[in-house]
Each structure stands twice: as structure tokens, then as C-alpha cells.
Amino acid sequence: MSVPPPPESIPGARLLFTLDPSVSYLNHGAFGAVPLGVQRTQQRLRDEMEANPQRFFGQALTERLAHTRRHLAAFLGADPEGTALVGNTTTGVAVALQSLGLRPDDEVLGTDHGYGAVNYSVARECRRTGATARSLHLPLSATEAQLVEIVRAGLRPGRTRLLVVDQLTSATARVLPVAALVAVAREHGISVLVDAAHVPGMLPVQVDAIGADFWVGNLHKWGYAPRGTAVLVVAPRWRDRIEPLVVSWQQPSGFPGNVEWQATLDYTGWLSAPAGLYTLRSIGVERVRAHNAALAAYGQRVVGDALGVPPADLPDPGGPGVAMRIVPLPPGVAGTLEGAGALRARIADRLAAEVSVMAWNGRGWLRLCGQVYNTPDEYDRLATRLPALLAEG
């Protein structure tokens, strides 16, 4: 079966970014890439801050943060009164976990697709409170209905206090049916935390319609915001129980201000986030999404073909619009975290390509992203050179 043609490149898109042209940057999902216009917006705000710090950090700052919060919440379909700006998804997860009030008889249930740092955060909170953590295996090939039934069977009513699920998994690039999973958990009064780190900007979303107790997503990946920009969305019943990781002067105001205000934090990244969404809208939100998803699918096929992976063995992301795809590596290659990190570094050094290499369930996986600054020939070059690199052992 022949590889489908790649999408047409978006004219001028590469010029919006300041990436090194000698490197194929195929790992947008890791740290994102900030458009030049957004960089300049943030620098203007930094200049304003340094010109008069006292004035910048005055009362007007809280109003500017509220404006940014409303702008981002509207884009995500979330209630701005229940939305707080945070540094990243794992920060939002930590805020939610410590606000739950876990007890020794409680259980936090996750899946084996969960993000490593989130798993560490759950483990730490369980150690602190005496609660337990448990993980469910979700097969890559499972249908949405099968995923829902696996989770339904894994819940322990009366014991499971919190279900933690990814809306789009990082390691395996799989969309999970979070709205259906929230509904199943609701049947038993179990709270749900949705890790949506990769969703804002990549996938259309109406956060409030999902109905989760907590929803956390990054804007600095697919929303073109400066790094360190994310949102924590909290359901009404939890808002008066949310406690920040660090108490500061906005503590009396309650959520979301008590979470956002961290004294001398550099807020210019958050204030620049609307410029990132402006860039996305200027190119065309649906145009960007369609291009990136098609390009990631093309990259998966050409690299998969080069490694001898049949098309049927290339995991499907489980939904349209996903701009990340994974390719299984040969057995024995990068099957551990250490091995995955070492291979990623070799690919970067030897092939001038930035990719993500994951170890999931004892096997190595190559994750490729598609973004408007990428071109088909970058995936073609990787496909041509990668087999020889892997053959070296």
C-alpha cells in the first residue's frame, strides 16, 4: 500500500518561527515553539515591567491577568470564574491533588498511558496522605467502547476517590473518550481529573461540556503561547476548596486568584498567551489542525515503511485532528527510559532531527509531531537515515 501524499505546506508559516533551519524539529509536543510575534509581545511586556516594576506589579496586573484568563477560557469553552492560569499541566495536577483531601482508605486510579510526572505527583500525594495509587492497562488497539468498559470494570466504588485520565496521551498519542469516562465515574460519585496537556490548540474542545472535576491543559504546546502557560479548570463544587501550592497576597480572594498570584513571578508569558491564539487564528485554526494532523500521519507512514512496520501495525490515534503519531521501534530498541533517552540524543546528534522516543510497556516507540513549520522532506530524510542508525545497535 502506497504512502498517501502529504498535505500542502502553508506558505510563509516557517518564517513565523525562529527555529534552527539546520535541524528537523519534529517534536513540537515536547516544549512547543513560540512564534516570533509572540516572542516580541512578551519582550515588550518585559520592557514595560523593567521600566517600572512597582507600577507593573500593581493593581492593574490582577486585572490584566483576569482579561487573559477570560480570553483563554473562551477559546477552550470553559467558565472563566473556574479557570486559573498555572505554569504547566503538572502544576495544575499538583494543585488539584492537594486540594482533594485524600484519606488513607482512598484510591487514585490512573492508566498505563499516564504522563510520568503526573504519576510521580499522584504517588507523592498518596505517600503524604496514606492513600493508594493503582493503574489500569488500556490496550493501544482498544475501541472507545472497550476503553470505557475497562475503566468501568476497574472502578472500586467506595474506595476509588479520583480517576486520572488523559484526553490525549503523551507517550502513545491516543485520544481517550474523556466525556464518556467522566459519565461512568459520575455514576459512582467518583471525581475525575483530566490531563489535557496536548489539547489546547490541537483539538477542538468544550471543557465545561466534558464535566470533569478538574481539567488541565497547556497553551505553550499547540496554542503558541510562551512556555509556562497552562490553565486549571475546576468544577463549581470544588472551587472554594482549592488551595495554592504557595500562599501569597491573593489568598483571601480565593480561587482562581489565590492560585495565579505568586508575588514576583514573571507574568509576561501568561499575558502574551492571547497573542499566541491570535497567531493561530491568523493562519486559520482549522487549516492548522488539518495540516498538522495530515503531516503527522504522513511522517508515521514513511518512517514506519522504512522500519518495515506494516500499516496495520501503526497505531491509530483514535480520533481526527491528532498532530502526533507513534511508530513502534524494533524489539529490544529503547525499551527502557534510559534507552529511550539515549536513542533520542543519538538521533538529534547524528541525524539533526529532534524527535521523542518513548518506552511504553517494555517497548520503544518513536513519536513524531506535525506543525506548520515542518515539511514532508524532513520526515523523508529521517526515514532514509534512521534504519542505518538503529542497525548500529
List the one residue out of 221, 223, 334, 363 whose CA is nearest residue 280.
223
Assess if residue 4 is contained within a domain.
Answer: no
Assess if residue 193 is contained within a domain.
Answer: yes
Q: What is the pLDDT of residues 371-387, one digit of tens each?
A: 999 999 999 999 999 99
Do residues 94 and 223 both lie within one domain? yes
Q: What is the pLDDT of residues 14-63, one digit of tens each?
A: 999 999 999 999 999 999 999 999 999 999 999 999 999 999 999 899 99
Assess if residue 112 is contained within a domain.
Answer: yes
Assess if residue 45 is contained within a domain.
Answer: no
pLDDT at position 1 is 56
Assess if residue 53 is contained within a domain.
Answer: no
Q: What cell numbers appear for 210 in the block? A: 466534558
Assess if residue 3 is contained within a domain.
Answer: no
Mean pLDDT of 227-241: 98
Mean pLDDT of 217-232: 98
pTM, two decimal places: 0.97
Do residues 19 and 113 both lie within one domain? no
List the one residue out of 84, 80, 56, 69 whose CA is nearest residue 245.
84
Phi, psi of 174 (to 5 degrees): -120, 130
Do residues 201 and 234 both lie within one domain? yes
Do residues 100 and 187 both lie within one domain? yes
Distance in angstroms between the alpha carbons of the first and the last residue of the chain: 29
Boundary residue ending a domain (199, 231, 263)? 263
Do residues 127 and 205 both lie within one domain? yes
Boundary residue ending a domain (210, 229, 263)? 263
Do residues 222 and 131 both lie within one domain? yes
Assess if residue 23 is contained within a domain.
Answer: yes
CA angle 358, 115, 25 (to 5 degrees): 50
Q: What is the pLDDT of residues 306-325, one digit of tens each?
A: 999 999 999 999 999 999 99
CATH number at residue 344: 3.90.1150.10
List the one residue out of 292, 317, 307, 280 whose CA is nearest residue 201.
280
Q: What is the pLDDT of residues 82-128, one digit of tens each?
A: 999 999 999 999 999 999 999 999 999 999 999 999 999 999 999 99
Do residues 73 and 203 both lie within one domain? yes
Has residue 275 got a pLDDT over 60? yes
> Measured between alpha carbons, how far is residue 181 from residues 42, 109, 152, 186, 233 in Å?
38, 12, 8, 9, 17
Do residues 232 and 378 both lie within one domain? no
Do residues 139 and 258 both lie within one domain? yes
Contact indicator for 225, 273 with CB cutoff of 8 Å: yes
Do residues 197 and 259 both lie within one domain? yes
Assess if residue 268 is contained within a domain.
Answer: no
Do residues 257 and 113 both lie within one domain? yes
CATH number at residue 81: 3.40.640.10
- Domain count for the chain, please give it: 2
Domain range holding 210?
Answer: 58-263
CA distance 173 to 316: 9
Count Cα neighbours of 108 within 13 Å in the Cβ-side half-sphere. 29
Do residues 81 and 185 both lie within one domain? yes
